[in-house]
Amino acid sequence: MIDFNEEKEFRLLEFIQQNYGMEIFTPGLERTRSLFESYVKLAQINKIKVTIIAGTNGKGQTAHTLSYLLETAKLTTALWTSPHILSLRERFRIGKEDISYEELEQEIYGTHYFLQKEHSGLLVSFYEFLFLVFLRLAFDSKKRALEHLLLEVGLGGRLDAVNHFNADCACITSISRDHQTILGTRYDRILSEKIAVARRGKALFTQFRLQYLNDLTSIYCKEFGVDWRPLCLSNLAEANYFSENQKMARELFSFLEPEKQIPDLDSIPKFKGRREEMTFRGNTLIFIGAHNIDGVRRMVELFSPQSSSPLPTTVLLSFSKRPSNELEVMLKTLVEFFGKESKLLITSFVHPKALELGEIVKLENKFNKINKGLLDFVTDWKSELDSSKNQKILVCGSYYFVGEVQRFIHQSL
């Protein structure tokens, strides 16, 4: 469990937000090219292998698993992920050690000073600022020479800051509908945004279940000379979503380090918000950030009859702002799967991106007219957790909600 300090987190986030705004999508590769070009050149000069990991769901777990495999094989890595769930420090993984608050604070202020001095007047977003902080940490000349740079796409791919780098190897873990106001609702358009991280003559790994997506990818890769390497999922018909992500990470490892033996996958830890477990008041809490339709459908596979995971006693969920029709599909999936065996609780939480309380109440009322009260609305999820004893509680929905629950647990310990 990562060390967490509420006061330090607040201070650092407040400083970043005051100077670079809230975390919203701010595309602009041309605008920021001068900011990142020196690091792109350093990666090329030093022959650092760059891997970009895109996808609607699964990219975070794939990125963390690949990082773990490379580190276990004694290769030096730097891993960039976003967003963070509990601590800002989660975005920065340099080698095997978590970055300290002191090192991160020093680099945040140092990067801000650098921008004020060398790039005064350049519009830099919250995300771009933190990505620059990461690169300054990753390319620190005082540390052991970097061998692998692993970059998880924040949103889309084509206009994401990580796409400044020319990936030696790229992957797309999945395609489904998310961030539709930015990426659109059609699968072909969503794919076109994500596949842009691939490069001519370089490998692109995918693991799509829809043949339609495979057909589109095949056409694109032939046109642009991309070395497409689709993973066959036929042998994973009974496997769950997480094992598919592990399979992708293993394939990436074998491609990047063909002379190395793949470390034992059984020893891979659970990562932040991805089946991570905590104990609280005698309860076992399982955190899964299933926040869109495909993510929820894939999550329930973990508890299917073919899986060894027992059903949770309680499912506690809350969502970020999303179209009501998507929310209804997700709730229908959860009720149909868990409704008769687990207690389903929907709640609200305080966050700029959280679904408004009024919308949750309307949704719960509308839903229960059809589903006969199988879904309960609770106003105070903290009291619910405090009063629960010896329960297995699945916390899911928005990653921001997962973070709020974990923050409450840390504050209560």
What pLDDT is attached to residue 180? Answer: 52
DSSP string, 166-229: --SEEEE------SHHHH-SSHHHHHHHHGGG--TTSEEEE--S-HHHHHHHHHHHHHHT-EEE
Give the Cα separation of 113 and 386 in Å (integer): 44
100: CB partners within 8 A, 6+ apart = none
Q: Where are the domains of the chain?
A: 6-267, 274-412
Q: Tell me how far apart the alpha carbons of residues 248 and 277 are, in angstroms, rounded to a whole number.
A: 23
Helical spans, DSSP H, in 73-196? 101-118, 126-138, 180-183, 187-194
| 298-320 pLDDT, tens digit each | 888 888 877 777 899 999 999 99
Confidence at residue 371, expressed as pLDDT on a 0 to 100 scale:
66
Residue 96: CA atoms inside 13 Å, Cβ hemisphere, count? Answer: 8
State the fold for domain 6-267: UDP-N-acetylmuramoyl-L-alanine:D-glutamate ligase (3.40.1190)
What pLDDT, on the 0 to 100 scale, is given for residue 123?
93
Q: What local confidence, expressed as pLDDT, does residue 171 receive? A: 96
CATH topology of domain 274-412: Protein-Tyrosine Phosphatase; Chain A (3.90.190)
Low-confidence spans in the chain with pLDDT less than 50:
1, 182, 236-238
Q: What is the pLDDT of residues 68-94, one digit of tens each?
A: 999 999 999 999 998 899 999 999 999
Using alpha carbons, list the distances in angstroms from residue 254 to 53, 168, 268. Answer: 16, 14, 16
- Crossing angle between the packed helical segments 126-138 and 29-45, to the nearest 10 degrees: 10
The residue among 230, 221, 223, 175 whose CA lies nearest residue 198 is 221
| Domain pair 6-267 / 274-412, same fold | no
